[in-house]
Amino acid sequence: MSSASTPSPEPNVAFLAWVVLGSATQILATAFLIHILSFRNFAVGVAYSKTEVIQAAAFGLVFLGDAVTPWGAAAIAIGTLGVMLISLNRAQHVLRELLTGWTERPALIGLASGGLFGIAAVAFRAAARRCSSCPPAIRCSGPICCRRRCSRPIFTCASQTSLAKWSPRGGFRRSPACSAALWFMAMTIQLVAYVRTLDLIELVFTFAFSWFWFKERPRLTELIGIALLLVGIGMALNLR
Cβ-contact 143, 31 below 8 angstroms: no
Contacts 24+ apart (CB under 8 A), 10-15: 10/131, 11/142, 11/146, 12/130, 14/130, 15/127, 15/130, 15/131, 15/142, 15/146
Q: Within 10 Å of residue 202's Cβ, how many Cβ atoms?
A: 10
Helix axes 105-129, 42-49, angle to 10 degrees: 30
Does residue 1 sit within a domain? no
What residues have CB less than 8 Å from 70, skipping those under 6 apart? none
Average pLDDT, the chain: 76
- How confident is residue 177, by pLDDT bands cut at 50, 70 and 90? low
Q: For residue range 71-123, what is the model confidence (pLDDT) as tens digits?
A: 999 999 999 998 888 877 666 666 676 766 677 888 899 999 999 999 999 99
Cα separations in angstroms, 15 against 27, 51, 109, 123, 182:
19, 27, 29, 9, 20
pLDDT, position 1: 45
Number of domains in the chain: 1
Does residue 187 sit within a domain? yes
Distance of CA 6 to the CA centre of its chain: 31
Does residue 2 sit within a domain? no
Helix axes 220-237, 192-199, angle to 10 degrees: 140
More confident residue, 65 or 3: 65
> Residue 230 sits in which domain range?
13-237
pLDDT, position 75: 93
Q: What is the rounded CA–CA span in Å between residue 131 and residue 57? A: 22
Does residue 4 sit within a domain? no
Q: What is the rounded CA–CA span in Å between residue 192 and residue 63? A: 12
pLDDT, position 156: 42
Does residue 3 sit within a domain? no
Does residue 5 sit within a domain? no
